[in-house]
Chains A and B, each alone.
Chain A
Amino acid sequence: MSTSQVSGFNTQVSAPGPFGGPAGPTVRAVHDQFHGDLLEVSMGPQHPSTHGVFRMVVTLDGEQIVKLKPVFGYLHRNHEKIAENTSYLGSMPYTDRLDYLCSMSTNWAYALAVEKLDGQPVPDRAQYLRIIMAELTRLLNHSCLVGFLFNDLGTSFTPLLYAFREREKILDLFESLSGSRMMCNYQRFGGCRVDPSPEWLEAARRLAENYPRFLDEYEAMLTGNEIMLARTQGIGRLNSTHAINAGLTGPVLRASGVDYDVRKIDGYGVYPRFDFRVPLGAHGDTYDRYMMRILEMRESVKILSQAFRDLPAGPIMDPKAKLRGFRPKAGEAYGRIESPKGELGFYLISDGSPNPYRYRVRPPSLINLTLLEEMCLGHTVADAVVILGSIDIVLGEVDR
């Protein structure tokens, strides 16, 4: 027998395979003089908790992670290049598919960039509608996130389905307004596509009003749970220097205690007219990242109630806005918003033709992912999936 099966593992290092790689067996031990025997596990791209076709190559010492390599690109769709060969309007439905959980905010970021490029004004009502949609999207995204986070933590789908119950209501609203649940394609350059009816607004207002009740129930269920605390507190710590240096944004950055919210900093749209607070974490661990989402949802509810109160009447589309044959003047623009996952930006260069000359997305999911190894080192496999869950990535946006 050429294989030496003396130990528990099929530690076969017989003849190398035809292409120089190790031959055959699936279980292969990696030897490392500092850690003893290591096990290399390729988690994904088909794995229940990598949130899509994401892959982590984890090197384990027992259950502890000594090395983690994120691998992505399995969902690359060439979005940026396609957009350079499509009209400005034609890219709008593609942006739905970037962060497919929050198409409304992604739409807005793109519309913002194009409006900046062309100097296109937006009527007041449309600005308010955009904020309503963006905050509803934030509720939707964060509900999803906390649900999935608990699934990564090992619940049998119960919190996830409670979260999905609420998400469903928001999706129904989106569907009745824009015609599609997730691929809303709602924003246009210079306004919005459809004006919501009073009934719709009433339904949305009631939803926002009832949302804290769901949050209370949700928090009562698991926020104080001892297992939950033990599984999340102190796990995946990220200090603020690291987070800033890596360019992280969104709740992940704020959980590390950095006060950075594009809504406050840029004041894009009509956000300066709203009264809301930005929660900040102190430890930068998974629990803080989870709580950031919960607290942001509560703030979103506040923004929504103000928006429904102050929503002005008027057109939803700038009358001068062009739909067909749209050609912005030559120049460049960067439009960014605080998407639920972080700073989402679109960088556009126009040469005056109907297609953008250069089109680039700054995806928060991808950039927040860069510190995954940093956060996971020294923790166990079980923690790695939780940390990944707490970063909140959508592979459509990571791979583009």
Chain B
Amino acid sequence: MLGSGIIKGLAVTAKNFVGSYYDPARMTTVEYPEQPTVLPENYRNFPFLVSENATDPMGTLRCVACQICEKECPPQCIIIEKSKDKKPDANGKMQLYPAVFGIDTSVCMSCQICVEVCPFDAIKMDKVFEIAATDRFLDLYLNREQLAKPNTYYHQIHPEEAAEVDGRLTADRKAAEEKAKATAAAKAAAPVAAPKPADSAVAPKPASPAVKPQDEPRRLVSPKPGEGGSPLGEGGPAKSS
């Protein structure tokens, strides 16, 4: 009979209306600023540089400026300049370091390929998403100082992955030391060959609510524009106040 389909439809919406009051599974919305979004461990948004030490982030960057990520980055948003001198890394080995390391986050598409190709576990994916800026050139270009985050932060946002990476790194370090002792040869400058990260099957936990983004939203706004001699600082337009 005419109208039966309409009545059926009305019944379904009525059921949903009532259900929205007592069936939380029906409501998928989150009241955002009050109710923080639970980000899964694997969530990725914009890379950052891992440094071993929080007190001296620039001195203990894992990055050795090998420029693989710069080459592999699909939208080519990474800018690296090698240093002229060498500094000792965490193992005490003398390594190059990035004199300039910049990521243009207005171009970056968070694809994680830089993380996958990095042989030194030096660049990892961040979890920031509350990013707003007033200058679309300067504020969205992150320089070395803004990118460097301590390993503890890495542990905070990706606990399982970070533990796994740390374990691998200490094992490598131990192996390198033993190798160094055994051979007792001249100090090898060859970098530690880390296995490919893709092989290391990282086991995520999707449903684990343990991941708390208690890190305060990182502001991408640089306090002083053009600081740190960023390449865009000179060429870019003057910051409008």
Query: A interface vs B, CB < 8 Å?
Result: 86-87, 89-94, 96-97, 158, 162, 164-165, 168-169, 172-173, 175-180, 183, 185, 188, 193-197, 199-200, 203, 217, 220-222, 224-229, 315-317, 319, 321, 323-324
Contacts and interface: CB of A to CB of B under 8 A. Distances in A.
A317 B206 contact: no
B40 A229 contact: no
A296 to B, nearest CB: 22
B3 A185 contact: no
B207 A203 contact: yes
B64 to A, nearest CB: 15
A224 B26 contact: no
Contact of A194 (B13, B28, B42): B42
> Which 3 residue pairs spanning A and B have beta carbons closest together?
A176-B206, A93-B111, A176-B40
Interface residues of B, number: 42
Nearest to A315: B201
Given A93-B111, A200-B204, A323-B196, A175 B72 contact: no
B16 interface: yes
A313 to B, nearest CB: 11
Contacts of A228: 5
B99 interface: no
Interface of B: 2-6, 8-9, 11-13, 15-16, 26, 28, 40-44, 68, 72-74, 109-113, 116-117, 125, 196, 198-199, 201-208
Given A165-B28, A176-B206, A200-B204, A220 B74 contact: no
Nearest to A223: B5
B5 A168 contact: no
Nearest to B39: A175
Contacts of A90: 72-74, 113
B74 A93 contact: yes
The A interface is mostly helix, strand or loop, or mixed, namely helix
14 contacts: A89-B72, A92-B113, A164-B28, A168-B28, A173-B206, A178-B42, A183-B111, A188-B198, A193-B198, A197-B203, A225-B8, A225-B9, A315-B201, A323-B116
Given A90-B73, A90-B74, A224-B8, 16 more contacts: A87-B72, A90-B113, A92-B113, A97-B109, A173-B206, A176-B204, A179-B125, A185-B113, A194-B201, A197-B204, A199-B205, A228-B5, A229-B5, A319-B199, A321-B198, A323-B116
Contacts, number: 123
A222 to B, nearest CB: 6
Nearest to B206: A176
Contacts of B198: 188, 193, 317, 321, 323
Contact of B204 (A194, A227, A323): A194
Given A179-B44, A317-B198, A89 B9 contact: no
A180 B207 CA distance: 15
A176 B207 contact: yes
A179 B42 contact: yes
Contacts of B117: 323-324
Contacts of B8: 220-221, 224-225
B110 A317 contact: no
A92 B13 CA distance: 41
B113 A89 contact: yes
A195 B113 contact: no
A180 B44 CA distance: 6
A164 B68 CA distance: 40
A94 to B, nearest CB: 6
A225 B113 contact: no
B8 to A, nearest CB: 6
B13 A221 contact: yes
A197 B41 CA distance: 12
A23 to B, nearest CB: 38
B6 A227 contact: yes
